[in-house]
Amino acid sequence: MTIQDIQSGTDRGVPATIARAGLTIASWPYGLAIRHRNRSYDRGSRDVAQAGVPVICIGNLTTGGTGKTPIVCHLAKWLREKNIRVSIVSRGYRSNESGTNDEAMELADRLPDVPHVQNVDRVEAARIAVEELETEVILMDDGFQHRRLHRDLDIVVIDAMCPFGYGSLLPRGLLREPISGLARASAVIITRTDHADEASLQRIESTIATYANASVPVLRTQHAASHLLTYPDQITALETIANKRVVALSAIGNPKAFEDTLRACGATVTDQLRFPDHHDYARETVQKIQDFARSQGSTFDQFLCTHKDLVKLKCDRIGGKPLSSLQIDMQFVSDPTKLYELVSQCVQLSR
């Protein structure tokens, strides 16, 4: 029995039912606190800091991996192509001694010309980006609930595989705030739509329409594998993993989506090694992976991980087995014109 089995209701046994009741009670004070906080900002009774440049927030309603990073990368590249100086600002959850975390390392790898300022105080991070880095536009990663910094656009990301956090606030479900928070959204992006059927997607869009402003664009996207990356910078075509026996290695919020993508690329996933999101791959963990590889012998051909894992592992083999990451990019299924128009209008504020 896992916490996900309890939260999702998959486990209907007596212990799980009792645990759900306890989590429901625990969610009540959290719900009261978050609603009070949101009302305070809605009424203007809490101070909101201005960055002095346009701020575009890419956030979500739930915990876990909704697929924000490919969207942040896409928008950052789009802005850089227009010669706009853009910086990313984030909290830096579970940063290491150097002050960076796995998401910062991945973004630095994918966006070498885009500064990333991590600070628990995102107002201070924005100040650094503007005053010291001469930033013209800030992308605030995972900041939808961080309302102390004014934003000009709020882009909310919803994962089609688990769109509304099992319908309950933390810790009973995965919602950071009530779904009614969508009323603050400037745009909504539904990710991994290729992992859901049309009926499910229409239900998600119907729920969004219930809470979001009628003028808010709702876009469908999917995460598409582009190539393999072997540390440090060797690029390999996806076709090389077709019919290969692989072990999926990940420490991300949604490992199932990653494993499904590997299968869609033609790989045979013989096993999965899943670690908690943002796991740091300490020496003990690497030793366990090495021991696993040696114990399995010739039953699989290689390890495949995500880019977020590769930037922490920093190697091309573990336990004698090759290691590569599957590179994922965002693709629009819907026409993105309205989103680009919103971003363009926002950027005009800095020109």
Whether 306 has a binding-site annotation, put simply, is: no
Whether 67 has a binding-site annotation, put simply, is: yes
Q: What is the 3-state secondary structure (H, E, C) of the chain?
A: CCHHHHHHCCCCCHHHHHHHHHHHHHHHHHHHHHHHHHHHHHCCCCCCECCCCCEEEEEECECCCCCHHHHHHHHHHHHHHCCCCEEEEECCCCCCCCCCCHHHHHHHHHCCCCCEEECCCHHHHHHHHHHCCCCCEEEEECCCCCCCECCCEEEEEEECCCCCHHHCECCCCCECCCHHHHHHCCEEEEECHHHCCHHHHHHHHHHHHHHCCCCCCEEEEEEEEEEEEECCCEEECHHHHCCCEEEEEECCCCHHHHHHHHHHCCCEEEEEEECCCCCCCCHHHHHHHHHHHHHHHHHCCEEEEEHHHHHHHCCCEECCEEEEEEEEEEEECCCCHHHHHHHHHHHHHHC
Whether 64 has a binding-site annotation, put simply, is: yes
Whether 253 has a binding-site annotation, put simply, is: no
Q: Are strands 317-318 and 321-332 parallel, antiparallel or unpaired?
A: antiparallel
Whether 66 has a binding-site annotation, put simply, is: yes
Whether 24 has a binding-site annotation, put simply, is: no
Instruction: Cite the annotated binding site for ATP by residue number.
Output: 62-69
Instruction: Cite the annotated binding site by residue number.
Output: 62-69
